[in-house]
Amino acid sequence: MLALVTGPGGFLGRYIVEQLLARGDSVRGLARGDYPELAAAGVEMISGDLADRDAVDRAVTGVDCVFHVAGKVGVWGRWFDYFRSNVHGTLNLLGACQDRGVDRLVFTSSPSVTFDGRHQKNVDESAPYPTKWLAHYPHSKAIAENFVLSVNGQPLADGRELRTCALRPHLVWGPRDHHLTARLIERARSGQLRRVGDGHNLVDTIYVENAAEAHLLAADALAEPDSPVAGNAYFLSQGDPVNCWQWIDDILALVDLPPVDRAISARKAVAAGLTLERWHWLTRNWNEPRMTRFVARSLSTHHYFNIEAAKRDFGYLPRVSTEAGMQRLGEWLDSDRGLRVAD
């Protein structure tokens, strides 16, 4: 098939591109940046922004399936920026798919669309969206996800239907991770990393190659008649929650850093986050505060999910174990590029 991947140069997006190419699919990428290495690999690159409907129309013309991975991430910033990228951009893409006759779309969502600041233990897809939000990112992703799922079954001009689904991978990590892993290492090296809470909270994670494979499996399942995947959201993980702070210590050990030995209570972290958020808001500082309420709650509560629906409906299994993934991550961090990112 010819697949469009939005955000093909990002962490997860690039793995999806590579897996599509490896199995013989043709790939087109929509991105604002320039990625000559993707073009050299055979990816047809379209330069443009998701908020630009003309660019989106060009990108979806003639494709068989869309993997919508791009979006604004982070826990701080202006609502307009999150809405423009995550909501308006997604609506542009959905409209273009309907106008151009694209009948499959897989949306990369987040488990945070169900997070209200409390523990999440073995949560399944019946969990509702919160009524109050701790950050713009999960709020905007929830709005976008709701739109994606609500248009499932909409008729196309040729009589087919648009089939959609949303995937919610939790804490994606692995080689080439310029965000989560690099940030943990940077904060540990600068002495800014603190354990939040009692250190006993369990979290789900997912190795990046497993997350990418899940996207391909879901897209293939959407092509089946009466697909059970159509119109549904799915949690994704390794299927085996880990202690959050032991996992962080294990990542730090890969670059010979000591375990996190300083701590702050969850209550104090939430209070500090609220204070810093108010100060950044008053001063119109859109750089991320050192602590926010969302981060404090995320680091001190349980987050693990039931992935039986993904196993049942499109055959997802985490082929790369956490142990094997950590070994691969360590090898990357030992490489020249990995060390430069970590440093």
Active site residue 129: no
**Nearest-CA neighbor of 71 among 81, 57, 61?**
81
Instruction: Determine the Cα–Cα distance for residues 215 and 219; give it in Å rounded to an integer.
Output: 6
Instruction: Determine the Cα–Cα distance for residues 201 and 297; give it in Å rounded to an integer.
Output: 11
**Nearest-CA neighbor of 299 among 115, 144, 124, 105?**
115
Instruction: Determine the Cα–Cα distance for residues 112 and 130; give it in Å rounded to an integer.
Output: 10
| Tokens representing residue 267 in the block | 């209550």
- In terms of C-beta distances under 8 Å and separation of at least 24 residues, what long-range contacts does 125-128 make, across chains too? 125/232, 125/233, 125/234, 125/235, 125/309
Q: In a 10 Å sphere around its CB, with 0-12 CB exposed, 13-18 middle and 19+ buried, how is residue 129 labelled?
A: middle
Instruction: Determine the Cα–Cα distance for residues 173 and 205; give it in Å rounded to an integer.
Output: 8
CA distances from 130 to 48, 115, 127, 133, 139 (A): 33, 7, 9, 7, 9
Token look-up 């008649």 returns 225
Q: Which of 35, 137, 207, 304 is catalytic?
A: 137
**Nearest-CA neighbor of 105 among 167, 42, 33, 57?**
167
Amino acid at 138: P
Torsion of CA 227, 8, 237, 182, to 10 degrees: -170
Bridge partners of 155?
Answer: 161
| Tokens representing residue 130 in the block | 């919160």
Instruction: Determine the Cα–Cα distance for residues 223 and 104; give it in Å rounded to an integer.
Output: 7
Active site residues: 137
